Structure 1
């Protein structure tokens, strides 16, 4: 019961980060820090598990690959931190599900924003508070990270 509540908090943090990314094209460090700090509580509630080393490997690997994507300007810094923090909740088997779901959701989000930017008149875009809808702007990938992570969680791939 407590573990389910902690997963609900994780999902709320992911949704809040996605909303901030839509409106400001940034993800505050608070979300990544809160997600990282919530994981040991979740792991303690679930009980001791020697396989948690996998979660640390996944976290480090995703963070390293994310930094390379950041250096190539494929992802923003907030996206990298949010994805790495979320990856901490997954073991090696679950990480494949997480990355696949995030990639799929991120691709859908990118296509959706490209479409929205083309069909919504620029005069309306300038009135909106959604920075992400501005023409030729970056895509708020935090939405894809949140959607992919939530789907991986819902499918039961979070560990332990």
Structure 2
């Protein structure tokens, strides 16, 4: 049961965030809250040491501080900032977090350049009323960075401490 929570909740939240940001340019507050809440329930049940749980929470707090500063200066959306912080809690301080941040940054750069190229194309004008593409077409709109954050989370999640624990547990049965 614990393994199911680990294998379902995080990936679901990443996919939901990407789709939600694509359609509405928002990431609901319930997504990072769900990620944080499930982590707080699951981590002690996996036998994770309290000091390690504290380091995971510190990763989230650090990321929240940095990303909200970026939000305050208009560098990113508030939903993106909260999602990065909640994802950081699952990744912890270490290589999984670095991989997540690097992967999301690269994917975000590709996404941003692709959207800018799309917005300057004729195709953008043709599909501007399509519910899936309208946020990509609007020149005044931002970039739905939740797509990059969600994909980055999915790509790097298998190396996260909880995913590694769940795989090892299932392999030993």
TM superposition score normalised by structure 1: 0.89
Aligned counterparts of 1:119 and 1:88: Cα–Cα separation in 2:
39
Alignment partner for residue 148 of structure 2, among 127, 132, 144?
144
Q: Please state if 1:98 is matched with 2:97.
A: no
Q: Give the RMSD, CA atoms, in angstroms.
A: 1.9
Matches within 5 A, 1:5-154: 5-49=5-49, 50-93=51-94, 94-130=96-132, 131-136=134-139, 137-154=141-158
Write the deviation string for residues 108-160 of structure 1: whole angstroms up to 9, x where unpaired.
Answer: 21122222223352432332113421232210000111111111113x13457
Q: Which has the larger radius of gyration?
A: 2
Q: CA deviation at 1:105?
A: 1.5
Write the deviation string for residues 64-87 of structure 1: whole angstroms up to 9, x where unpaired.
Answer: 000111012111011111111111
Q: Which runs of 4+ in 1 moved over 4 A?
A: none
- Cα contact 2:118–2:124 (8 A) shared by 1: no
**Which range moves more in the overlay, 48-57 or 60-69?**
48-57
Unaligned runs of 5+ in 2: 166-173
Q: CA deviation at 1:4?
A: 4.8
Q: CA deviation at 1:61?
A: 0.5
Aligned length: 159
